[in-house]
Amino acid sequence: MSESNNSSRTSDVKISCRNVWKVYGGQPEQYFNSGNGKLDDPMAVHADFTESGYIGAACDVSFDVKPGEIFIIMGLSGSGKSTVVRCLSRLVEATAGEVLLDGENLLNASEKELINIRRHKMGMVFQNFGLLPHQTVLENVAFPLRVQGLDRQEREKRALKVIELVGLEGRETSFPRELSGGQQQRVGIARSLAVEPEIWFLDEPFSALDPLIRRQMQDEFLRLQKMLHKTIVFITHDFLEALRLGDRIAIMRDGWVVQIGTPADVVMNPANEYVAEFTQDVPRVRVITVSEVIEPADDGLTIDNGVSTTTTLEELMPLFVHNESGVPVLEDGKIIGKVTPSGVVKALAYSGENA
């Protein structure tokens, strides 16, 4: 299932993936009459080239990413998620389709134009930190600025700024071997931010870290995004990580996008049995928000301990300890309703949550 791209030409879309295919084999282009990948029957074409021994790593993938959005692409190993993000950045050349950045098709960019786009508009972070072992933290972070041709004073000034941003001040002269895994990943994040990218690609950046450090890095990531408002495409196989970080999620299976939606959409309204199974262990309290359980307000409510409509039930429930009659819901500092313990219980019962 794919999202409609009718709005892709408007300014509310930063990057758009349209009917993108990546097919491995001898001459996969023969299955596409035009490079745009728009086929009358994609499933039939897929069946055709599969019978001939070709492999579809990404199949008719379409989605839009809005400015400042964290767009998650997830799926099991081999689902095609990493292939898609590499097609977006042209680290892998798509077989067919279009990738539009600010309305311009990246797949038509020359090698010189692509190098310039990568140097100035894209930041990339991968599971493998890829730090240069013989260079210090400062030198690693400043490296892409050196590639850009900035003089030493300017690149070190910008590098020091992002080193402080990711919480590594005081470690500028350290070498990668002297840092923990979490600190090394912070260096990788700082290096990708040093070029001040417009769009940020992160491919399972925290999966090599232990659970505690991973949680801390997720916190750090959310803190940075709150400050920087980057347009982000984030790859993960961990649904709880996607739930915590993402504005919207695209779930992939065998190269195909099977559902796109908010975390609550995907969990509460799975498109098929695969998505339902994929999300069955997700606690509903993490996805149901106050907006889904709001009730009319009482006259006696005050704004004390008020919550927004986007607060999850997991965040809300501790507030009932001192507000058994209901917690006020606020918008622009005014009470617009309340949530009650009984309303929460009904919502969880309806969603199939087991106490």
pLDDT digits (tens, 9 = 90+) for 106-149: 999 999 999 889 888 998 888 777 899 999 999 999 999 998 88
Q: How much is the pLDDT for 149?
A: 87
Same fold, 15-121+197-282 and 285-351: no
Residue 151 has pLDDT above 80, yes or no: yes
How many Å apart are CA 85 and CA 92, to the nearest integer?
9
User: Which percentage of the chain shows pLDDT scores above 90?
Assistant: 55
pLDDT on residue 234: 96
Q: What CATH number is given for 15-121+197-282 in this structure?
A: 3.40.50.300
Q: Name the pLDDT band for 32 (thresholds 50, 70, 90).
A: confident
Statement: residue 99 has pLDDT above 80: yes
Neighbours of 19 (CB within 10 A): 21
Q: Are 169 and 163 in contact (CB under 8 A)?
A: yes
Residue 88 pLDDT greater than 90, yes or no: yes
C-alpha span between 38 and 19 (Å, rounded): 6
Q: Which residues pair with 126 in a beta bridge?
A: 203
In this prediction, residue 352 carries a pLDDT of 58
Q: Which of 104, 103, 86 is nearest to 95 (CA)?
A: 86
Higher pLDDT, 11 or 296: 296
Q: Is the pLDDT of residue 72 over 80?
A: yes
| Pairing verdict, β 104-105 and 96-101 | antiparallel
| Mean pLDDT computed over 77-104 | 94
Q: Give me the pLDDT at residue 353, please.
A: 47
Mean pLDDT value across residues 32-44: 80
Question: At residue 89, does pLDDT exceed 60?
Answer: yes
- 208-236 core/surface letters (b: 16 or more CB in 10 A; e: else): ebeeebbeebbebbeebbeeeebbbbbbb
Q: Which two tokens stand for residue 313?
A: 């039930």
Note the pLDDT tens digit of each residue in 213-272.
888 889 988 998 998 899 999 999 888 899 889 999 999 999 999 999 998 889 888 999
Give the pLDDT confidence of 324-341 residue by residue, as tens digits: 888 999 998 899 999 999
Q: Which residue has the tokens 């933290």?
A: 137
Q: What is the pLDDT of residue 7?
A: 39
- pLDDT tens, position by position, 120-130: 899 888 877 78
Residues in contact with 84: Cβ distance below 8 Å, sequence separation at least 6, in sequence order: 17, 20, 22, 58, 61, 73, 252
What are the residue boundaries of the structural domains of the chain, listed by start?
A: 15-121+197-282, 285-351
**285 pLDDT higher than 50:** yes
* Closest CA relative to residue 46, chosen from 292, 310, 253: 253
Mean pLDDT computed over every residue of the chain: 88
Task: Please give the Cα distance from 254 to 56 (Å, whole number).
Answer: 8
**Cα 241 to the chain's mean position, in Å?**
10
Q: Please report which confidence band the pLDDT of residue 4 belongs to, taking 50, 70 and 90 as the band edges.
A: very low
Summarize the confidence of residues 2-6 as an average pLDDT: 41
The bridge status of strand 70-74 relative to strand 231-236 is: parallel
pLDDT at 351 (0 to 100): 67
- The encoded tokens of residue 13 equal 């879309």
> In 3-state terms, the chain is what percent helix, strand and coil (to 5)?
40, 20, 40
Question: Pick the residue with more confidence: 40 or 187?
Answer: 187
If DSSP codes are grouped into helix, strand and coil, which group holds residue 69? Answer: coil
pLDDT, mean of residues 306-315: 91
Q: How many CB atoms lie within 10 A of CB 281?
A: 8
Helices (H) then strands (E): counts for the chain = 12, 12
The residue-averaged pLDDT of 4-18 equals 67
Domain 285-351 sits in CATH at: 3.90.1280.20
Q: How confident is the model at residue 209 (pLDDT cuts 50, 70, 90)?
A: confident
